[in-house]
Amino acid sequence: MTERVVLAYSGGLDTSVCIGWIAAQTGAEIVAVAADVGQGGEDMDVIRQRALDCGAVESIVLDLKDEFANNYCLPALKANALYMERYPLVSALSRPTIVKALVDAAREHGASMVGHGCTGKGNDQVRFEVGIGALAPDLKVLAPVRDSGMTRDKAIAFAEERNLPIDVNKKSPYSIDQNVWGRAVETGFLEDVWNGPIEDIYSYTQNPATPRDPDEVVITFASGVPVAIDGRPVTMLEAIVELNKRAGAQGVGRLDMVEDRLVGIKSREVYEAPGAIALITAKQELENVTVERELARYKRGVSQRWSELVYDGLWFSPLKNALDAFLEEANAPVSGDIRMTLHAGRAVVTGRRSDQSLYDYNLATYDAEDTFDQSMAKGFIELFGMSSRIAMGRDARNK
């Protein structure tokens, strides 16, 4: 029986060439799997047919938008996940979604191998291979672009030699990855970190400097889940899509950063994530109203560690699973409404209300309604500072 390889297929030059390259090197049949995670701008039927025309024996397009939103973006929102406190894990979240689909497809189609088109310099090779190893350690992984030294010139020559139905004449100066959670742009002139980004690289966001009226939005959360916008019920996917449109129209969610890749390389990336940034900003503020102080302090550390694990490709890991359980508990009281103004590239919270609020007006006010007994403060300060006062006295005596 002929072996089969399930290939993560994007429809681009590299993965199209991978179909023929893997077949030539291994004699295996190729099952191409393309995942729709809300990247937009691509005709998935065209991509499906392209894989068949390039030699795949089967070509599958999976609509994973809701699964991606509910099972991957939502946990990231509950974690307020921002790698290096800025990057909302655009690509890092889609990779485990695709990994699970690849493993499921391998089981369904009797494949013994899984292939991807990642290079050896990026994070995605780790995310694919560690994820596949965790879910299906019996599957062999093929990485033709990385392991064969497949340069762009070699890929073009391979495609022309075999008359593959892909346009190899147009070369975008950028490498772009996008999904419903955001868009990542790198390479080209952006590799010089002194060069500023230009408007041509943006797609999800409008220029924040263009004069326009502000947009006020009210987002309703239930236990950390966005459930309504301006009083209208929404699914997680609908919430992201609407805020991508509304926050993106105001230029919200543009990021230009140099980040630390897992492989040790510093990489300059430009991101657009209007919906993600708007949702995270809103939920963080609702947490400020509803989450007890010590829990909130601890959660910030958990959020950072969760983001690092997912960025590093450890979505399918015991620690990440355990942190998910903590985050579910920490988000339990995060219910209520956040009012935001979207304008000039910023999402600014202007109002909060919640039945779970820990904010007590009578304790916070300095007016006549004040119920806080200020006489308690003196003794509290004496006790709070006692240990450091004693230690500092000792150190002063021993000098």
φ, ψ at 70 (rounded to 5°): -80, -40
Query: Does residue 345 contact residue 254 with C-beta atoms inside 8 Å?
Result: yes
The confidence score (pLDDT) of residue 212 equals 96
Q: Could you state, in order of their start, the residue ranges of all structural domains in the chain?
A: 4-171, 176-291+333-353, 371-397
| pLDDT score of 223 more than 70 | yes
> Is 175 one of the annotated active-site residues of the chain?
yes
Residue 291's pLDDT band, with cuts at 50, 70 and 90, is very high
The confidence score (pLDDT) of residue 172 equals 64
Binding-site positions for ATP: 8-16, 35, 117
Question: Count of CB atoms within 10 A of residue 37's CB?
Answer: 24
Give the separation between CA 275 and CA 277, rounded to whole angstroms: 6
Q: Which of 23-27, 168-172, 176-180, 241-245 has the lowest mean pLDDT?
A: 168-172
Give the separation between CA 362 and CA 281, rounded to whole angstroms: 27
- Of 4, 50, 95, 183, the catalytic one is 95
Please, what is the end-to-end C-alpha distance for the chain in angstroms?
A: 82
The confidence score (pLDDT) of residue 147 equals 86
Residue 187's pLDDT band, with cuts at 50, 70 and 90, is confident
Exposed, middle or buried by CB within 10 Å (0-12, 13-18, 19+), for 397? Answer: exposed
> Is 339 one of the annotated active-site residues of the chain?
no
- Mean pLDDT over 4-13 rounds to 92
| pLDDT score of 42 more than 80 | no
- Of 4, 48, 124, 177, the catalytic one is 124
Binding-site positions for L-aspartate: 119, 123-124
Strands, sheet with 175-179, edge to edge from the N-terminal-most edge strand: 175-179, 182-186, 266-272, 254-260
Q: Domain 176-291+333-353: give its CATH code.
A: 3.90.1260.10
Give the separation between CA 284 and CA 224, rounded to whole angstroms: 10
Tell me the pLDDT tens digit for each residue of 332-370: 999 999 999 999 999 999 999 999 999 999 999 999 888
- Mean pLDDT over 108-133 rounds to 94
Binding-site positions: 8-16, 35, 87, 117, 119, 123-124, 127, 175, 259, 271
Tell me the pLDDT tens digit for each residue of 250-259: 999 999 999 9
Read off the tokens for 61.
């397009």
Q: Name the fold adopted by 4-171.
A: Rossmann fold (3.40.50)
- Of 53, 66, 175, 215, the catalytic one is 175
> Is 94 one of the annotated active-site residues of the chain?
no
What are the residues facing 183 on neighbouring strands? 178, 272
Read off the tokens for 11.
């429809």
